[in-house]
Structure 1
Amino acid sequence: MLIDCAQPGHPERLDTDVAILGSGPAGIALALALADHGIAFVLVEAGGMDFDKAGQEFYRASLIEPESHGPVHLYRRRAFGGTSAVWGGRCIPYDPIDFEDRAWIPNAAWPIAHEEIAAYYPRALDICRAGPAAFTAAEALPDTPGGMIDDVPSADVILDRLERFSEPTHFGKAYREKLAAAPNATLLTGATATALVTENAGARCTGADLHTATGGTIALRARRTIVATGGLETPRLLLASNADRPAGLGNERDLVGRFYQAHLEGEIGTLAFHKPAKDVRLDYQRSPEGIYCRRYIWLSPEAQRREHLSGLIARPAHASIVDPAHRDPVLSAMYLVKDFILPEYARKLTSTERRVKAAFGGGTSKLIAAHIGNLVRHPFKLAGFSIDWGRRRVLATRKLPSVVLRDPRNAYPLDINAEQSPNRDSRVYLSNERDPHGVPRLSIDWRMTSDDRDRVARGMRVLQAAFATSSNATLDLHELDEQVAEITRIGGHHIGTARMAASPQDGVIDGNCETFETRDLFVAGAAAFPTSSFANPTLTIIALSLRLADHLAATATR
């Protein structure tokens, strides 16, 4: 059953077994699993079925530090399906080392084993529509099983691992009808959870109070409540629900909102290949199931342990689209339409754009004129690319994930993705400013440490030494210090703000995602992750949600 709370006539009270707050990948994965288990649930979405620009106002933060963090509304969507409406579709699993207690990275241990999450990756991939759990070239691409390039003997670099790509699947559109038709499901849109409700001085959660788009309220009461509202809205709701707990729910030890992590990104070094382009496997390839896959460069777990490093991968990238000196009409066209690029791919333009604009006198008119000149000089190359892009990206259901352009020099800047260490002082907290529903807005205080930058720099040196063992490739790091100084966060990944731990001294929730302080209150999503890994979180978010659904089913009668 679907109830649009933006319309009059919605109920004033609903009672159910499980309340799921949030309809992003975590919430919808939970809902799909609970529907299969036959457990009655209500799935709550604050937005409507479609994107509403005005609704994004609820996500605006009161204060953001540092400025490089970027606005918090840019990478999220307040609509059914959540941020799956704008994700790039990248699916990468966490690795066993991500779950280890790494002594050189404080607060980095998970209270559960990697195997407990890995068991759910096949089902998570099905939900993402990203094919089987095959993440090496030998498994997924039997016709071209090798690594990015052959004959790199060092074990410190792994070149045959793959990232798999979803359609990218919009979870709201993909699963709306199935969930609305489930006999044990009720879907609410236009209903915002403004407070969690508890009894016995906060000892047990009994549901949530909802404000509707029509100005009404709904008392949602449930035996168990799951907060699946994302890495920023989850701590916001926990902290704001303080009728029985002055510090907010789950926050007796001042841990909610702390350990805020993202992924670190920058362009570092240049990788030159010394074999013909046909022997370098850079492009997206389709698996036998039709899934787009692409190889990446991975700093091996063995090297991480030996050198006390954190997770790090690199992808060969095209030249920056911002500087027209590349003289490529495709890159210039990409710059001119950059405002329409998905946030996941647009996020890294800001600092580069500032530098290039300064070189062009600080304005945009001369810069744009130079890019238009590139288009005029090479119209046929641009036309050919546009036809192919339109066929494989714009018109296709399963979309080509991004642009991969071969460099005639066979040399590529490296786009790095790195793990941020858990840092208690990196946090989000409530401000004195309130949104239209009266809920305090967030203030953001995201912090990266010198150790984070040092581990990236040392990791790149290890990769450089690994490529030096081969005559087929050379990694040039001549501007390493300057480039490491410019690494920043990836905008859409908000991790660790209601972290899982073995004890309440170290985290907000236990290994089953239940809050230590309040029974029957659970957290789903990347807010629950103790560590960030290097990997995009969506696949592991879904796997953890499926594991939580099984736990709820196994304890349904407790």
Structure 2
Amino acid sequence: MAIIDARTLPDASRIEADLIIIGGGMAGIALAKELAGGPLRVTILESGGLEIDADNQALYAGFGMQRAPGNPDRPFDDYPVQSRVRALGGSGMVWGGKCAPLDPADFAERPWIPYSGWPVTRAQMQPYYDRACDLLEIPRFPLDRPRPSGPERQPLALDPADGFFPAPREFSRFSGGVDKTAFDAFRTQFAEVPNIAVYLHANVTRIRREGLEIVGLDIACLNDHRHTAQAARYVLAVGGIENARLLLASDNLGNGHDLVGRFFQGHVTYSNDGDDQNEGTAIAISRATPMDLYAPDKGRTAHCVIGAGLPAQTRMKTGNFTATLFRVRASEPQTPVAADTVTISKTVARLARQGDGQLLGYFAMAEHFPNPDSRVTLDSDQKDALGMPRVRLTWAYGDKDYVDLERSVAGLADALGASGEGRLCWSLERSKLLGACSASRHHMGTTRMHADPAKGVVDPDLRLHEARNLYVTGSSVFPTSGIANPTLTLLALTIRLADHLKQETVR
């Protein structure tokens, strides 16, 4: 149909459709693409416009705090607004395009990790991962992880019994930060299909419920126009923080068991620089052969990180863990050569210039475990320009998060040494981990998926336990966070949801 600016509609307009998708980010767009050309009249309500705008971004402003045992609290008020984009395409506007599926271990119930286990397996998700890869025009990720080949891309000869493996990463061009022309087509052309309509600047401020039925939506525009919307079914897809915010602001919708907003999980990277007196995070590789598989010479190149599979996690009683390697050019020690480089280790640069061997920098990532005290809440005393309560994010870690991080680093160091492949330096003190970490724009877990309404906000079909006709999609439904960038998984879950909605229509 069209892309329509809701601010231009007559005040108090009524929008009607068979299915309304709240949110025009990557999940909302993927769902509309799957339903394009079908029998359903589908409408997307997107709160932003076609470009990033300061007034729209200000609606995300809130309050944040990171907390961890033995570390001073870290104020994080900038994070709620800086880690998201309120525009058609969502955070895909600035996403780097990195893609990877979650590992089989991430879906498994691991007795040593409280609240772990998904109601779907990695094998059951495989066809949806394949379709998500096709959508993003990247190679598919086989379930059996074929070994890389080629003289320039030989994996480290780590003992399979140790459980560390090369975990592949691919890059999509469909990102506003990578190929804006391609991404603009990705996020707009689907709306040309007759059964699709997209409304911009349409901020849903309330989901209205009567009994177990959602009966309508309240919409507000920054020009003071107010509208309503009604459909037979609704899908909430406004992100890992905003999904919880809107449910809580709608009379605690879905929160009968006090779970909405809890279990917030995020991804951070850990690394540090060194100097002549103090070592930084670095890996000394024994082999002289190229390490292009792990540390390609150019950024945004398909590569592998070192992952800890289920055998490693079971043996160490830890969660997921990865080490991402990157090169340091001796002539340009301050120039990162990998897209995800957080810091360049001065130690690595210094030793590389001295010709002391093949040295690489690395940053570590460890699974942020589900924690009910890590949560999104509302500040009823602080409102945005539309009258919505602002969010308060308490990003909390427990003792196990840091114990497992250190245990995983030690396990990788042992595996490198036992294989003769190298040595690892880890120079971060536990009491300084919170201050040293760098946060990603990944918000997960706040409307977690579980078959039991007492343990999850949505069921395995992503339907809200407390409403018959409201679904939630995106990374907020993840029970556990894994390590992989969440985009591919949230798209796979959304494609799976599309199939469910189509089947409901047939019935």
The alignment's TM-score, normalised by the length of structure 1, stands at 0.79
Indicate the residue corresponding to 1:253 in structure 2. 257
2:159 is the counterpart of 1:148: no
Indicate the residue corresponding to 1:118 in structure 2. 126
The answer as to whether partners of 1:135 and 1:161 remain within 8 angstroms in 2 is: no
Indicate the residue corresponding to 1:380 in structure 2. none
Indicate the residue corresponding to 1:398 in structure 2. none
The offset of 1:36, in angstroms, is 4.6
Quote the Cα distance in structure 2 between the aligned partners of 1:209 and 1:485. 40
Which of 427, 431, 439 is residue 375 of structure 2 equivalent to?
A: 427
The one-letter code sitting in structure 2 at the alignment partner of 1:166 is S
Q: Deviations over 1:60-111 (max 9, x none)?
A: 0045454354521112111110000111111110122111111111111212
Distance 1:489 1:112, change over 3 A: farther
Distance 1:11 1:29, change over 3 A: farther
The offset of 1:277, in angstroms, is 4.9
The answer as to whether partners of 2:152 and 2:291 remain within 8 angstroms in 1 is: no
Indicate the residue corresponding to 1:415 in structure 2. 363
Counterparts of 1:126-137 in structure 2, within 5 Å, are: 126-134=134-142
Quote the Cα distance in structure 2 between the aligned partners of 1:285 and 1:6. 48
2:173 is the counterpart of 1:161: no
The offset of 1:410, in angstroms, is 1.6
Indicate the residue corresponding to 1:542 in structure 2. 491
The answer as to whether partners of 1:298 and 1:314 remain within 8 angstroms in 2 is: yes
2:245 is the counterpart of 1:236: yes
The answer as to whether partners of 2:264 and 2:376 remain within 8 angstroms in 1 is: yes
The answer as to whether partners of 2:445 and 2:477 remain within 8 angstroms in 1 is: yes
Which of 259, 268, 271 is residue 264 of structure 1 equivalent to?
A: 268
The answer as to whether partners of 2:320 and 2:483 remain within 8 angstroms in 1 is: yes
The offset of 1:481, in angstroms, is 4.6
Which of 453, 456, 463 is residue 504 of structure 1 equivalent to?
A: 453
Indicate the residue corresponding to 2:334 in structure 1. 331
Indicate the residue corresponding to 1:57 in structure 2. 58
Indicate the residue corresponding to 1:456 in structure 2. 405
Is there any run of 5+ residues in structure 2 with no aligned partner, and where?
A: 67-72, 177-181, 273-280
Quote the Cα distance in structure 1 between the aligned partners of 2:171 and 2:97. 5
Structure with bigger helix share is 1
SS of 2:232's equivalent in the other structure is strand
Indicate the residue corresponding to 1:370 in structure 2. none
Distance 1:317 1:284, change over 3 A: closer
2:262 is the counterpart of 1:313: no
The offset of 1:39, in angstroms, is 2.0
SS of 2:205's equivalent in the other structure is strand
Quote the Cα distance in structure 1 between the aligned partners of 2:330 and 2:170. 31
The offset of 1:10, in angstroms, is 7.5
Distance 1:253 1:160, change over 3 A: closer
The offset of 1:478, in angstroms, is 5.5
Distance 1:406 1:176, change over 3 A: farther
**Number of equivalences:** 479
Is there any run of 5+ residues in structure 1 with no aligned partner, and where?
A: 243-247, 320-325, 336-340, 357-373, 375-404
Counterparts of 1:375-524 in structure 2, within 5 Å, are: 409-431=357-379, 432-477=381-426, 481=430, 484=433, 486=435, 488=437, 490-524=439-473
The answer as to whether partners of 2:163 and 2:310 remain within 8 angstroms in 1 is: no
Quote the Cα distance in structure 1 between the aligned partners of 2:331 and 2:99. 30
Q: Deviations over 1:163-211 (max 9, x none)?
A: 01111434861324432211111110011000002223xx211231111
The answer as to whether partners of 2:123 and 2:143 remain within 8 angstroms in 1 is: no
- Identical-pair percentage: 30
The one-letter code sitting in structure 1 at the alignment partner of 2:256 is E
Q: Deviations over 1:431-483 (max 9, x none)?
A: 02110110100011110111000011111111111111222312233656567
Quote the Cα distance in structure 1 between the aligned partners of 2:436 and 2:116. 21
The offset of 1:280, in angstroms, is 5.8
Indicate the residue corresponding to 1:80 in structure 2. 88
The one-letter code sitting in structure 2 at the alignment partner of 1:282 is Y
The offset of 1:508, in angstroms, is 0.6
The alignment's TM-score, normalised by the length of structure 2, stands at 0.86
Quote the Cα distance in structure 2 between the aligned partners of 1:118 and 1:68. 39
The offset of 1:253, in angstroms, is 1.2
Distance 1:538 1:407, change over 3 A: farther
The one-letter code sitting in structure 1 at the alignment partner of 2:269 is E
The offset of 1:37, in angstroms, is 3.8
Quote the Cα distance in structure 1 between the aligned partners of 2:283 and 2:259. 41
The answer as to whether partners of 1:277 and 1:410 remain within 8 angstroms in 2 is: no
Indicate the residue corresponding to 2:275 in structure 1. none
The offset of 1:40, in angstroms, is 1.5
The one-letter code sitting in structure 1 at the alignment partner of 2:126 is A
SS of 2:233's equivalent in the other structure is strand
The answer as to whether partners of 1:231 and 1:525 remain within 8 angstroms in 2 is: yes
The one-letter code sitting in structure 2 at the alignment partner of 1:508 is V
Distance 1:117 1:458, change over 3 A: same
SS of 1:148's equivalent in the other structure is coil
Counterparts of 1:289-300 in structure 2, within 5 Å, are: 292-300=301-309
The offset of 1:132, in angstroms, is 2.8
Distance 1:253 1:76, change over 3 A: same
The offset of 1:8, in angstroms, is 4.8
Indicate the residue corresponding to 2:278 in structure 1. none
Distance 1:68 1:131, change over 3 A: farther
The offset of 1:263, in angstroms, is 1.6
Distance 1:44 1:256, change over 3 A: same
The offset of 1:134, in angstroms, is 4.8
2:212 is the counterpart of 1:211: no
Quote the Cα distance in structure 2 between the aligned partners of 1:161 and 1:74. 29
Distance 1:261 1:414, change over 3 A: same
Quote the Cα distance in structure 1 between the aligned partners of 2:138 and 2:429. 35
Q: Deviations over 1:363-411 (max 9, x none)?
A: xxxxxxxxxxx9xxxxxxxxxxxxxxxxxxxxxxxxxxxxxx9995421
CA RMSD of aligned residues (A): 3.0
The offset of 1:489, in angstroms, is 6.0
Question: In terms of mean alpha carbon deviation, does 254-263 or 47-56 score higher?
Answer: 47-56
The offset of 1:240, in angstroms, is 0.4
Distance 1:280 1:516, change over 3 A: closer
